[in-house]
Amino acid sequence: MLLVDIVLPGLVLGGMYALIALGLTLQYGVARIMNLSYGESLVAAAFGAFSLYSGLGLSPLAALLLAVPVAMVVNWLLYRFLLERLMRRSKDRGAQEIDSILVTFGVLFVIQGAMLVAFGGQYYSYSYLSIPLTIMGSTLAVNRLVALLFAALVGGAVYLALTRTRIGTAVRAIAVDANAARLVGIDVAALSGLAFAFGGGLVAVGGVLVSMFLTFNAAMGVIFTMKALVVVIMGGVGNVMGALVAGLLLGVVETAVARLVDPGLTLAATYALFLGVLLIRPTGLFGRAAS
C-alpha cells in the first residue's frame, strides 16, 4: 500500500506544517508584519515545554496554559516597542515590510543566542504519547495525531474568530487597508498589536505541540520560519483555510518525494513547489486577486 504509506504520513506531516504556520497567518497575513524570528519563537516554546516536562513533569498539553499567555505578552511588547515605531516611521507599505523584516532579523539572533547560551547546540527531545498506532497498515504515533487534531481545531477557531466576530472583521479590515480602516473608526495600532500578540500565542501552541514528537535544537528555527512562510504564501496571505490546505499539500508532496525519489531532495521539492505557485498564482492557491 504505497499510496497509503505516502498519503497518511504526508497528511500528518502536513498537519504539523499547518500548525506551525497558523501563527504566521495572523502575524504576517493579518497584522502584516513579517516576523523572521518566528521560527526561533517556536523553538523557544518547544524548549519551554521540554523544561517543564523534564523538570517539573508537567505534560505538554498543560504547558500550553502557561506558554500561550507568556508568548502573547512577549509578542505584544515586541510589537509595542519595536514594530509600532517602524510602522509609524514610514507610510509606505513596502518600506514598512522591509523595516520589519530587518528588525525581526535582529530579534532572531537575540532569541537564538539566548537559547544557545541556555541549552547549547545539541539536540533535545522527550517522549510523550509516542504510542504507535496502526491505521490501514501504516504506523503512526499518537502524539502526531494529537498535533494534527489541534491544528484542525485551532485553525477552525481562528477562522471563525476572524470571520464571525466584530474584532475579527476589524482585524481583517486592517489587513486589507490600514488607512481605510482608520477612517471607519478602527483603532489600527491597538488591534494590530492584538493580532500580532495572538499570532505569538499560536506560535507557542505550535512550538509546544511540535516538541512532543520532534527532535529540536537552538539553531533550527530558520527551518520552521521557512516552512511556515512557504505554507502561508502558498495558501494565500491571510487565508487561514488556505494555509491549512497548503500545509497538508506540502506534507504529502514532501513525503512522496522522500519515498519515491530521495529523502535528501525534500527541501528542493518544497522550493520547487513554492516557486511554481508564486510564478503561476502570485496571490497563492486560495488568495484573491490583488486589487
- The footprint of other proteins (CB under 8 A) covers 28, 34, 82, 85-86, 89, 94-95, 97-99, 101-103, 105-114, 116-117, 222, 226, 229-230, 233, 262, 264-265, 267-268, 271, 274-275, 278-279, 282
Q: Which residues contact 199 (CB under 8 A, 6 or more apart)?
A: 23, 24, 25, 26, 27, 30, 31, 35, 75
Q: Which residues contact 161 (CB under 8 A, 6 or more apart)?
A: 167, 168
Q: Which is nearer to other proteins, 69 or 282 (CB)?
A: 282
Task: Give the whole-angstrom CA distance, residue 153 versus residue 133.
Answer: 21
Compute the half-sphere exposure of residue 54: CA atoms within 13 Å on the CB side of its CA: 12
Q: Which is nearer to other proteins, 177 or 187 (CB)?
A: 177
Report, in Å, the least distance between residue 279 CB and other proteins: 7
Q: Which is nearer to other proteins, 176 or 265 (CB)?
A: 265
Q: Which is nearer to other proteins, 81 or 164 (CB)?
A: 81
Q: CA 69, 70, 75 angle in degrees (round to 5)?
A: 100
Q: Which is nearer to other proteins, 39 or 60 (CB)?
A: 39
Task: Report how far apart, in Å, the C-alpha atoms of 138 and of each of 5, 54, 124 are.
Answer: 6, 30, 27
Report, in Å, the least distance between residue 176 CB and other proteins: 17
CB 115 within 8 A of CB 124: no
Q: Which is nearer to other proteins, 208 or 249 (CB)?
A: 249
Report, in Å, the least distance between residue 147 CB and other proteins: 24
Sign of CA dihedral 5, 6, 7, 13: positive
Report, in Å, the least distance between residue 185 CB and other proteins: 25
Q: Is 239 helix (H, G, I), strand (E, B) or coil?
A: coil
Q: Which is nearer to other proteins, 155 or 284 (CB)?
A: 284
Q: Is 139 helix (H, G, I), strand (E, B) or coil?
A: strand
Task: Give the whole-angstrom CA distance, residue 263 versus residue 15.
Answer: 19
Strand pairing partners for 134? 139
